[in-house]
Amino acid sequence: MEIGIDSFAKKTQTNEGGNVVDDAHAMSELIERIEHADKVGLDVFGIGEHHREEFLDSAAHNILSAAAAKTENIRLTSAVAVISAMDPVRLFQNYATLDLISNGRAEIVAGRGSFTEAFPLFGLDFADYDNLYAEKLNLLLKIRDEEQVTWSGNFRPPLENQTIYPRPLQERLPIWVGVGGTPASFVRAGELGLPLMIAVIGGETHRFRPLVDLYYEAAEKAGHKKSSLKVGLHSLGFVAHSKGEAIEKYYPGYRVWFNQIGKERGWPPVTMERFEQQIDDLGAYVIGSPQEVAEKLVRHSEALGGISRFTFQIDNAGLTHEDLMETYSLIGEKVKPLVKSIIN
For residue 248, give the CATH number of its domain: 3.20.20.30
Which pLDDT does position 16 carry in this prediction?
A: 65
pLDDT tens sequence across 293-338: 999 999 999 999 999 999 999 988 789 899 999 999 999 999 999 9
Which pLDDT does position 101 carry in this prediction?
A: 98
Q: Looking at the chain, list the stretches that DSSP marks H as alpha helix, in order from N- to C-terminal side.
A: 23-39, 60-68, 88-101, 118-121, 129-145, 183-192, 209-221, 243-265, 272-278, 290-303, 321-330, 336-343
Q: Are 144 and 172 in contact (CB under 8 A)?
A: yes
Task: Identify the H or E element spanning 282.
Answer: none
The percent of residues above 70 in pLDDT, for the chain, comes to 97
Looking at the 3D structure of the chain, how many domains does it have? 1
Q: What is the DSSP letter of 334?
A: I
Contacts with 287 (C-beta within 8 Å, 6 or more apart), sequence order = 236, 237, 238, 239, 243, 246, 247, 250, 279, 293
Distance set, CA 105 to CA 66, 80, 205, 333, 338 (Å): 13, 16, 29, 21, 25
pTM of the model: 0.95
Q: For all residues of the chain together, what is the average pLDDT? A: 94
Which pLDDT does position 64 carry in this prediction?
A: 98
> 94: domain range?
2-343
Q: How confident is the model at residue 129 (pLDDT cuts 50, 70, 90)?
A: confident
Contacts with 263 (C-beta within 8 Å, 6 or more apart), sequence order = none
Average pLDDT of span 106-134: 90
pLDDT tens sequence across 216-232: 999 999 999 999 999 99
pLDDT tens sequence across 60-72: 999 999 999 999 9
Q: How confident is the model at residue 260 (pLDDT cuts 50, 70, 90)?
A: confident
Indicate the burial class of 277 (C-beta count within 10 angstroms; 0-12, 13-18, 19 or more).
Answer: middle
Which pLDDT does position 225 carry in this prediction?
A: 95
pLDDT tens sequence across 107-116: 999 998 778 8
pLDDT tens sequence across 7-56: 999 887 666 666 667 899 899 999 999 999 999 999 999 999 999 888 99
Which pLDDT does position 18 carry in this prediction?
A: 63
